[in-house]
Structure 1
Amino acid sequence: MLEDISLTVNSDSGHPVPVRAWRLAGQGGGPRVHLQAGVHADEIAGMLVLHKLLPRLEHAHADRRLRGTVTVVPQANPLGIAQFRNGHILGRFHESTSRNFNRHFIESSALQRPATTFAAWQKAIVGLAVDAQIVLDLHTDSEALPYIYVNRCFWPDARDLAGALEADVAILWDNDDDGAFEGAMVSHWLRAQQIEGRLAATVELRGQSDVSDDLADRDAQGIYAFLCGRGVIEDRRVQREWSGETIPMGHMETVFAPVSGVLVYERELGAQVAEGERIARIVARPGDPSSEHVLRAPQAGRLVTRSRDRLIAQGDVAVKLTGSKPSASWTGGVLDP
């Protein structure tokens, strides 16, 4: 039976708002799983994926093929989803505190009595997931190939997840000083010495505009197949072999916009580029040919993400690409600001 385990948090105005969550308890002692989307409320693709996946899980449960217990939170952030300003959603940052919604989870979850709505929401979300053995946090980049973030301690076991989702890249991280949701799970399990047999991953489902029935069905089927392979669901599914690229976090290169202006890409996502090769240019003052600034690859690699905004501000991320050696500009941390 599908159990409604929705919880309530306070909005910034003090009014209660729900975090919709459902749980299916299987038979057979399989792994406990937590699936969520929309921590960054402007990242929609994962919400549709879980909307598509939930009926499949219900069907498996009705057929008595569900062995584990699965919690599904399709829209995890009611604070962010309410932040519409001038026709746009401010989904990445909490307007009242200017904090990134996917940071500070470790400190918020440790508080006995959170003093802010932001911290109380984070503590509540962690409470839903902390007893799980498999945690997938669904996100999207701006424009991107499908890729995953995973702690090095879960690799290479997590190749099954990368294969099921047909990820192009798996980015391995070691230390999370920022307190992303995934990092909070890993931190808790390490403190409890319960890391064996577990997995927490941030799944980047391409770009923010990649929202369609076809893509959502494909990704929902991929997660379903992954859960079958992990013994959560009793169903024979062909496990895809993964042949993507594994890269340490410190080898990722981020190219920032040196000036504001019109952003023109000269290479497409997924392209392999040589060190020093042109990948984009910014026209700072249209009409003035001397105002064009060329962006080049800091080292040889593959274009993984890029900005979907073609009018870019100085300092914004223009491109991220893989590299075969440590980036000269990497200073630590797990995710972008």
Structure 2
Amino acid sequence: MIEDVSLSVPADSGAPLRVPAWRLDSGKPGPRVHLQAGVHADEIAGMLVLHTLLPRLEEAAEQGLLRGSVTLVPQANPLGIGQFRHGRILGRVHEPTSRNFNRGFPASAAQERPAGNLAAWQKALATLAADADIVLDLHTDDEAVPYVYLHQCFWPAGQDLAAALGAEVAIIWEGDSDGAFEEVVIAPWLAEGCFDGRLVSTVELRGQADVSDDLAQRDADGLYAFLCARGLIAQAVELPQWRGRAVPIGHMETVFAPTAGVLVFERELGAEVQAGERFARIIARPGDPGSEQVLAAPQAGLFVTRYRDRLVPAGAIVGKFTGSAPSSTWSEGALDP
């Protein structure tokens, strides 16, 4: 019953690369679901989650519980997964073009003959998801509480996803997202004005180092429950009430490093902070007490993400917070470059 729907895309050298993908199709009426992970190839947690989820979905199909179809792409980016430099994977940006892997999807999908292998990969991935009703793109932040991005047209209907995954924050966006994958999925739905039974979300599964069997099982269980609730699997579930907070993307506060130096966090992720409260400091010249710069929260809110390394370059995003009013640092588009 499981079908191999793997993609073949050109490497930077032109040689073919395989994007492993599998589809379970019940042949019965139901939602069409597309799940993928690793568009940014250095975000590993979702790969393990889908690896954990696939056998459970196969079992449901064998038991005759599957309705509709589900496609899984556990490691979506073969271009980025090969970018190891000095023992570390550099997955966010395509080295030959310096382009963020998760930007420019609509432009690539619109090309009849994609110009370059990055565009060819983006078009192939977008085409694979084009007929889906529910699309979840699994990512991670540097270090973060679990949170989701949802377009305003899916809110509050998308609370079931946030509840199933235990997301602490839902960031609600509108307009465009600088060409991220979810934008190419949602574009025809926006043109139709039809959203019943549909959902697309970028799901942030905590931080890049949060890769473990326990967390993967927890997230796979959450996804399975969500898919049951949405009718893909004929199994009764009761989702918990969502107790997180929904924040317009323009109210999210991003704090940048004013200088390079040793980064010391004084508040933990998930902490509630007050406006003007210090949450970290940067020691620009260790040994010189006068070189310490204190970083404070611009608004009262929840500490959502923070920089992974503890030596920070000037201009890097040190942390993000929820806010109850528009941020002075945000302009249109995605939250991150």
1:179 corresponds to 2:179: yes
| Equivalent position of 1:299 in the other structure | 299
| Equivalent position of 2:139 in the other structure | 139
Distance between the aligned counterparts of 2:72 and 2:258, measured in 1?
41
1:108 corresponds to 2:108: yes
**Once superposed, what is the RMSD of the aligned Cα atoms?**
0.8
Contact 2:249 2:335 (8 Å CA) reproduced = no
| Equivalent position of 1:245 in the other structure | 245
| Equivalent position of 1:313 in the other structure | 313
Segments of structure 1 that go 5 or more residues without pairing to the other structure are: none
Letter of the 2:81 counterpart: I
Contact 2:6 2:20 (8 Å CA) reproduced = yes
**Deviation of 1:323 (Å):** 0.4
**Deviation of 1:188 (Å):** 2.6
Alignment of 1:82-121 (within 5 A): 82-121=82-121
- C-alpha deviations, 1:83-103, integer Å up to 9, x for none? 111111110000000000000
Q: Which moved more, 1:174-183 or 1:274-283?
A: 174-183
- Secondary structure of the structure 1 residue equivalent to 2:246: strand
Segments of structure 2 that go 5 or more residues without pairing to the other structure are: none
Letter of the 2:226 counterpart: F
**Deviation of 1:239 (Å):** 1.2
- C-alpha deviations, 1:18-40, integer Å up to 9, x for none? 01000000243110000000000
- C-alpha deviations, 1:304-327, integer Å up to 9, x for none? 000111000000000000001000
Distance between the aligned counterparts of 1:295 and 1:16, measured in 2?
47
Contact 1:7 1:19 (8 Å CA) reproduced = yes
- Secondary structure of the structure 1 residue equivalent to 2:94: coil
Letter of the 1:315 counterpart: G
| Equivalent position of 1:288 in the other structure | 288
TM-score computed with the length of structure 2 as normaliser: 0.99
TM-score computed with the length of structure 1 as normaliser: 0.99
Letter of the 1:117 counterpart: N
CA spacing shift, 1:146–1:177, aligned 2, 3 Å: closer
Distance between the aligned counterparts of 1:241 and 1:301, measured in 2?
21
Letter of the 1:107 counterpart: A
Letter of the 2:82 counterpart: A
- C-alpha deviations, 1:73-124, integer Å up to 9, x for none? 0000000001111111110000000000000001110000011100000000
**Deviation of 1:238 (Å):** 2.2
| Equivalent position of 1:254 in the other structure | 254
Contact 1:27 1:64 (8 Å CA) reproduced = no
Equivalent pairs counted in the alignment come to 337
Alignment of 1:161-200 (within 5 A): 161-200=161-200
Letter of the 2:276 counterpart: G
**Deviation of 1:191 (Å):** 2.6
**Deviation of 1:241 (Å):** 1.1
- Secondary structure of the structure 1 residue equivalent to 2:275: coil
Distance between the aligned counterparts of 2:106 and 2:64, measured in 1?
36
Contact 1:81 1:89 (8 Å CA) reproduced = yes
| Equivalent position of 1:234 in the other structure | 234
Distance between the aligned counterparts of 1:335 and 1:129, measured in 2?
24
CA spacing shift, 1:308–1:258, aligned 2, 3 Å: same
Distance between the aligned counterparts of 1:134 and 1:315, measured in 2?
36
- Secondary structure of the structure 1 residue equivalent to 2:211: coil
